[in-house]
Amino acid sequence: MELKLNNSIIRLVEGDITELATDAIVNAANAALQLGGGVAGAIRRKGGPRIQEECDRIGGTHVGGAVITTGGNLKAKYVIHAVGPRMGEGDEDHKLESATLNSLRLADENKLESIAFPAISTGIFGYPIDRCARIMLQTARKYLESPTGLKEVVFCLYGNEAYSVFEKALNKII
């Protein structure tokens, strides 16, 4: 499913984000930028040690922040590490919006044309996927309505259930 906005597209796909050949994929990171389990673990395994080495040099970022590293051995040239909120820490919706927006800005600053997001914070951080879908999709739509070099924003969902939630949210936005 996709939504065309100006010269850009928001696209939903179901699958493994580490297999995408977008300019950048987004890692649902922790503030210490340690590539542990979930999406981060898959990025570490498939991308190789160089990604973690760059994260170690950067040292971390705040909740809502985003940093960029190489994509290592991945098909994507870069990984943007976005730190989403843990459910219960307070101001979670704003922090997720910031993580999404800062990732999009970082992609533009690095003159990238395509970026792929997972459902940030919906794994071990416990954020409700329906709220995640609404906030991330609305943030991307608003961003793409302004001047940008981004041509494609992909939301890569792991599993049909997650895809269905994002599809329903995108239909409401349309």
CB-based contact 27:39 (threshold 8 Å) = yes
Number of C-beta neighbours around residue 25 at 10 A: 28
Rounded distance between C-alpha atoms, residue 137 and residue 72, angstroms? 28
| SS3 at position 111 | coil
Residue ranges and CATH numbers for the domains of the chain are: 2-173 (3.40.220.10)
Number of C-beta neighbours around residue 1 at 10 A: 13
Mean pLDDT by 10 residues, the chain (174 residues): 94 97 97 92 95 97 98 98 97 98 98 98 95 98 96 97 98 90
Q: Residue 161: phi, psi to the nearest 5?
A: -65, -45
- pLDDT at residue number 38: 84
- pLDDT at residue number 54: 97
- pLDDT at residue number 73: 98
Q: What are the distances in angstroms from CA 167 to CA 26, 31, 114, 129?
A: 19, 29, 20, 12
Q: What is the pTM of this model?
A: 0.96
Q: Residue 171: phi, psi to the nearest 5?
A: -60, -35
